[in-house]
Amino acid sequence: MSKYDIIVLGSGPGGYVTAIRASQLGFKTAIVEKENLGGVCLNWGCIPTKALLKSAQVFEYLKHANDYGLSVKEFDKDFNAVVKRSRNVAEGMSKGVQFLMKKNKIDVIEGFGKLKTGKKVDVDGKEYSADHIIIATGARSRELPSLPQDGKKVIGYREAMTLTEQPKKMIVVGSGAIGVEFAYFYNSMGTEVTIVEFLPNVVPVEDIDVSKQLEKSFKKSGIKIMTSAEVTKVDTSGKGVKATVKTAKGEEILEADIILSAVGIKTNIENIGLEDVGIAVDRDKILVNNYYQTNIPGYYAIGDVTPGQALAHVASAEGILCVEKIAGQLVEPLDYGNIPGCTYASPEIASVGLTEKQAKEKGYDIKVGKFPFSASGKASASGAKDGFVKVIFDAKYGEWLGCHMIGAGVTDMIAEAVLGRKLETTGHEVLKAVHPHPTMSEAVMEAVADAYGEVIHL
């Protein structure tokens, strides 16, 4: 039996980052993976979807070349080539993780891992032991009883990334990050897209102003949106698919070639031995303390399988914190109130902290500032005037409670707010920090200036 200091179960952005940090700290480390190194994020999620979205963005540029004083007489898309590029990007990233495993002297154990008592892991019949076992098995597309996936006419995100033929009509059920990103991609490619959202607003976790702006931008680009709507049944017996949608006005039948189910995720915790070991689970999540220890000593869990936000950067941060705690380092628990969320449709969405509604519900007396990109010189020059930056401050102490952005490139701008909140900066400090001009990022300063009644360019 091979013996390790740490075995990590799963090699997604939680698992492989955890393994590397463990190795850096001097632990003899192994990682177990049943499919591809990099997990869903690198192979079927974060990375290949961004490759698809970049192709859509370039196609959009070509369609609007005249807006930039350019004449492009002939251009077209090759849907299969777009998909192939995305898969090549994912393959390259997975190979990069393979290199990192070798560089950090981490043993990669291929196969399906199952937890055993006594700090052991069984991988397809062969046992391995470790002083510490970290579960990082991630999640997959969730299925609704009324929307069973057949992989052909009713699909999840994996199939949406590798279709061999572009659908003429698509229904996207769910308007979280996955739903709106694919809605944007397929609409840009020329597919007729309808979004069906159960709640009253698209991207329902975002600030209401962001939701309204995305709906406005999407409708302008030709995407149909149905909110407060529910798919109650689907009929796949014909050539395409028929979806019965229940709304306040009654039932409506939508017809399409394909339905994409983007209604959330289901954790991968079945058949990995949790019950055999006695690890506590509640509502599809493994219960852990602030340092990701389960109720059974020597077993830990990070990432999507735990109650925190199901985001790649959260999984990575949790894994690093977990092994640093095991190494005896002085670490502070992760602040889940300061986790940025990003959606990579066009316009992009990025946010951190409280929404305006949440701040009011918590009893804060607030100052709210908003700066539209239509007033930004850089946005105007770039032809990307949709969207805004919105900031929320506590009126009494100047604490930065929340920041919400929608527009071009905002996923690269949100880190300023995350860092500012981490350092407990005040509104006046952000306002007096000189921002470069002309940039999209100066909209943050302008929004803060608006909150304090000092805005110049609005």
pLDDT digits over 67-89, tens only? Answer: 999 999 899 999 999 999 999 99
pLDDT tens for each residue of 6-27? 999 999 999 999 999 999 999 9
- Tell me the domain boundaries of the chain: 2-141+266-336, 154-263, 347-451
Query: Per the annotation, does 26 bind a ligand?
Result: no
**Has 402 been labeled as part of a binding site?**
no
Given a contact cutoff of 8 angstroms between Cβ atoms, the answer to whether 373 and 346 are in contact is no
What is the DSSP annotation of 50-63? Answer: HHHHHHHHHHHHHH
What are the pLDDT digits (tens) for 291-343? 999 999 999 999 999 998 999 999 999 999 999 999 999 999 999 999 999 99
Query: Which CATH number does the domain 154-263 belong to among 3.50.50.60, 3.40.50.1980, 3.30.60.50, 3.40.50.150?
Result: 3.50.50.60
What stretch of H or E contains 343? strand 341-343
DSSP letters, 359-407, are: HHHTT--EEEEEEEGGG-HHHHHHT----EEEEEEETTT-BEEEEEEEE
Nearest CA to 195 out of 163, 164, 221, 158 is that of 221
Q: Report whether 180 belongs to an annotated binding site.
A: yes
Residue 41 has pLDDT above 90, yes or no: no
Tens digits of per-residue pLDDT, 235-258?
999 899 999 999 999 999 999 999
- According to the annotation, is 113 in a ligand binding site? yes
383: pLDDT strictly greater than 70: yes
132 is catalytic: no
Please determine whether the domains at 2-141+266-336 and 154-263 fall in the same fold group of CATH: yes
Active-site residue, selected from the candidate residues 64, 313, 435, 437: 437
Q: Residue 386 pLDDT more than 70?
A: yes
| 395-443: pLDDT as tens digits | 999 999 999 999 999 999 999 999 999 999 999 999 999 999 999 999 9
110 marked as binding residue? no
- Note whether 189 and 79 are within 8 A (CB): yes
CATH number of 347-451: 3.30.390.30
CATH number corresponding to 2-141+266-336: 3.50.50.60
Q: Residue 220: is its pLDDT beyond 90?
A: yes
Supply the mean pLDDT for the chain: 95
Q: Which of 190, 216, 188, 220 is nearest to 202 (CA)?
A: 216
Contact 20, 107 (CB under 8 A): no
Dihedrals φ, ψ of 290, to 5°?
Answer: -65, -15
Query: pLDDT tens, 340-373?
Result: 999 999 999 999 999 999 999 999 999 999 999 9
| pLDDT number for residue 1 | 67
Rg of the chain (C-alpha set): 23
Strand, helix or coil at 244?
strand
Does pLDDT of 107 surpass 70? Answer: yes
Q: In angstroms, rounded to a whole number, what is the distance separating the alpha carbons of residues 112 and 34? A: 5
d(CA 279, CA 273): 9
